Structure 1
Amino acid sequence: MNKTIVIIPARGGSKRLPGKNLKLLGDLPLLAHSIRYAQQHTFIDAVYVSTDDAAIKEVALSYGAQVIDRPEQLSGDLEPTVSALKHVLETLTDEVENVILLQPTNPLRPETLLEEAFRKYNQGNYDSLFTVTRNHQKFGKIISDKFVPFNYEIGQRSQDLDPLYFENGLLYISKSRLILSDIILSENAYPMVVNHPYALVDIDTQEDFDYAEYLLGKVRSEK
């Protein structure tokens, strides 16, 4: 029984940054950062990459992940992530209890984050958990050419703002029964706060990739 598995969804098509999942970040393909990260944790029973791409499959296998071939109908731009996760669970013969989603576009994660998150998930008996980061910006809407503050009043200091948080994508943990019901996060999902520069990395463009390279280089130079 694979009680806890990691699934890394990695499509071949990327319009804004072609081939991004295999693009070298440091000395590893982008995808391999998440595979290696998962492999460091003894409580993970298996690491699966879901892909529709032969080159991604080859790289995933070479780094020790197992590969689930994703059907074309589940590989479109508008297809939700949960459909790829559900397909993996439906393909496996083993019973799975917990699914950890690691997105290849979030390749940099604090070393102890997954262990801490999984401990919190188990101790709190949650059915799902995800990571969030506090945002300190002043947001507003533009209505009829007028700026209308959303989370503050004009003249209010940034440090006095009501806290707002964003979903940073570093990791998600969910019961497999939720995913089989087409849900990754339940209404009671635990929001784990992560305040770390890595939480600002979500690679969709070349600029995002450049920033990830900068952060990775900075961390390595400090070791």
Structure 2
Amino acid sequence: MEGIIAIIPARGRSKGIPRKNIKLLNGKPLISYTIAAAKQSKHIERVIVSTEDTEIKEVSMKYGAEIIDRPEELAQDNSPTLPVLQHTIQTLQNNNEKVKLIVLLQSTAQFQKTEEIDEAIETVLNGKWDSLISLSPVPKHFNPLWQKKINDNGQVLNVSDSESINDDKKSTRRQDLKQTYWKNGQIYIITPETLMEQNSLFGERCTSYIINRNIVNIDTEEDWKQAENLEK
């Protein structure tokens, strides 16, 4: 027994797309895709959905997930993910259940792939890492060194500081730009110690798993339509 669990937070009061966790995406509830990806993992032993919503509970159990009831105070519009995970782990620990690694999967970060989840888990297991985050490469033309901002007076400045746009230090050729990455929300892995003792999703020894494909984070109706097209 590896003691690796997946936690899927699923609040019932989603605003951008009402009831999006159980809304049908090409015929199946959105959350079912994430549950299936986790259930097919060769490392994940338990798939747990944290929710306060009765209908989400029923749908999640139908697709094979366990449920941990989320308190109402952790199911508000401004409720962050960290205390939701801590509540889930504390509930398990109160029942003397051992957890070695926590895999945080968000149902709105479609579409997770089981092989990527397993490779990310193996990255942590085979190294001295206490956390992992999945990333995607930022196209070179969006590199921070090439980004600009406009101040209240209409002057164009570099994003990184208030130096003039003419600052020679910022005149980096495209081929000399270092690769940067953005958080794609697909996979987070955390040790219980990092989560509970350091009060964080990211430890001092955090590594990454790079994903090179189209990623959709579903927050708007436009995102939903894009996800429908990707899944077809």
TM normalised by structure 2 equals: 0.86
Larger radius of gyration: 2
Residue of structure 2 equivalent to 1:184: 201
Mapped partners of 1:111, 1:89: distance in 2: 23
Amino acid at match of 1:106: A
Q: 1:89 to 1:158 in 2, by over 3 A?
A: same
Residue of structure 2 equivalent to 1:208: 223
Offset of residue 64 of structure 1: 0.9
CA RMSD of aligned residues (A): 2.0
The partner residue of 1:104 within 92, 102, 107 is: 107
Mapped partners of 1:150, 1:134: distance in 2: 19
Offset of residue 158 of structure 1: 4.8
Residue of structure 2 equivalent to 1:162: 178
1:44-193 aligned at under 5 Å gives the runs 44-92=44-92, 93=95, 94-136=97-139, 137=142, 138-144=146-152, 145-150=154-159, 158=174, 160-181=176-197, 182-193=199-210
Work out the number of aligned pairs and report it: 215
Mapped partners of 1:110, 1:157: distance in 2: 35
Secondary structure at the counterpart of residue 202 of structure 2? coil
Deviations 1:153-212 (A, max 9, x none): 888665543322111100001101111132111132102221111xx3111001111111
Query: Which blocks of at least 5 consecutive residues in structure 1 are unaligned?
Result: 218-223
Offset of residue 139 of structure 1: 2.3
Deviations 1:78-130 (A, max 9, x none): 22101111111111121111100000101202342011111111111211001
Query: Which blocks of at least 5 consecutive residues in structure 2 are unaligned?
Result: none
Secondary structure at the counterpart of residue 22 of structure 1? coil
Amino acid at match of 1:149: N
Query: Does the aligned pair in 2 maintain the 1:11–1:53 contact within 8 Å?
Result: yes
Mapped partners of 2:85, 2:44: distance in 1: 16
Offset of residue 52 of structure 1: 0.9
